[in-house]
């Protein structure tokens, strides 16, 4: 994928990985718009207000971006929340609902809003964002893993449905990255800059692979195939000891 002369919308680009990726695209020569609910703190980038849980907001943002940038040719659906849940406490359901609404339905709403534009153009790139946790659960974040497994399956189907339309569909599968609070609780989380270096190397391959899997994500992505799934899941289940009352 060429990243030097594109017009890119990163929904969920107002912080963390999305904001870092936005700056990489800009540094390479592309025009970037970042979207999210909290756009006020963004300096030096064009922004659009968007709440992916609200269908009207998504359509408004789509119309605003396409009015200014009818040449839009890259969409990244980065919006996500990373919530912990104790499944023995029924109150977890609120977190489950939010997680599915933002991570999975938010991805679907955003892709739906822009698919006609991309199909009309007959060209462009859609990049969805799942997680290593979608392939190897992290039991402290059950619905998060379910939402990202859903994003993976949806992305595969989207790619199949857009085949022949000139639109490529790529799934970014990050491992733990030192953003969104991970930097405080997970010493193994990758520094953002190193992660983005690897992402840019992979994404600029020609043709771009269907999945962007940096080195640290491979053991999660391929655990089932590699026969390491049960052992890794057991090790990751030890995190449950941090829940109150365990």
Nearer to ligand NAP, 8 or 189 (CB): 189
For ligand NAP, the binding residue among 52, 95, 136, 169 (CB under 6 A) is 52
Q: Per rule CB under 6 A, is residue 37 in the interface with ligand NAP? A: yes
Q: How many residues does the chain have?
A: 246
CB of 183 to ligand NAP, least distance (A): 9
Q: Per rule CB under 6 A, is residue 15 in the interface with ligand NAP? A: yes
For ligand NAP, the binding residue among 45, 61, 102, 158 (CB under 6 A) is 102
Q: Per rule CB under 6 A, is residue 78 in the interface with ligand NAP? A: yes
Nearer to ligand NAP, 35 or 124 (CB): 35
The pair phi, psi for residue 142, each rounded to 5°, is -65, -50
Task: Candidates 47-55, 68-76, 224-232, 238-246: pick the segment binding ligand NAP (CB under 6 A).
Answer: 47-55
CB of 143 to ligand NAP, least distance (A): 12
The pair phi, psi for residue 27, each rounded to 5°, is -60, -30
Q: Per rule CB under 6 A, is residue 212 in the interface with ligand NAP? A: no
Q: Per rule CB under 6 A, is residue 182 in the interface with ligand NAP? A: yes
Nearer to ligand NAP, 100 or 119 (CB): 100
Q: Given the rule CB under 6 A, which residues bind ligand NAP? A: 12-18, 36-38, 50-53, 78-82, 102, 129, 131, 174, 176-177, 179-180, 182, 189
């Amino acid at each position: 994928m060429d990243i030097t002369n594109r017009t890119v919308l990163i929904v969920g680009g107002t912080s963390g990985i999305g904001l870092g990726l936005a700056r990489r695209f800009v540094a390479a020569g592309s025009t970037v718009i970042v979207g999210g609910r909290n756009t006020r703190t963004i300096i030096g980038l064009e922004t659009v207000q968007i709440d992916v849980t609200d269908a009207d907001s998504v359509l408004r943002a789509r119309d605003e971006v396409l009015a200014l940038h009818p040449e839009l040719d890259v969409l990244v659906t980065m919006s996500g929340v990373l919530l912990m849940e104790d499944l023995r406490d029924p109150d977890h359901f609120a977190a489950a609902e939010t997680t599915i609404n933002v991570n999975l339905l938010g991805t679907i709403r955003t892709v739906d809003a822009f698919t006609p534009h991309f199909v009309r153009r007959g060209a462009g790139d859609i990049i969805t964002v799942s997680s290593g946790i979608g392939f190897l659960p992290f039991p402290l974040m059950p619905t998060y893993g379910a939402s990202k497994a859903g994003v993976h399956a949806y992305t595969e189907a989207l790619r199949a449905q857009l085949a022949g339309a000139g639109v490529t569909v790529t799934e970014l599968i990050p491992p733990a990255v030192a953003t969104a609070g991970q930097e405080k609780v997970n010493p193994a989380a990758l520094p953002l800059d190193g992660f983005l270096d690897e992402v840019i190397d992979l994404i600029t391959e020609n043709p771009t692979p269907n999945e962007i899997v940096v080195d640290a994500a491979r053991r999660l992505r391929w655990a089932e195939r590699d026969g390491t799934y049960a052992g890794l899941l057991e090790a990751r289940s030890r995190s449950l000891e941090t829940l109150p009352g365990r």
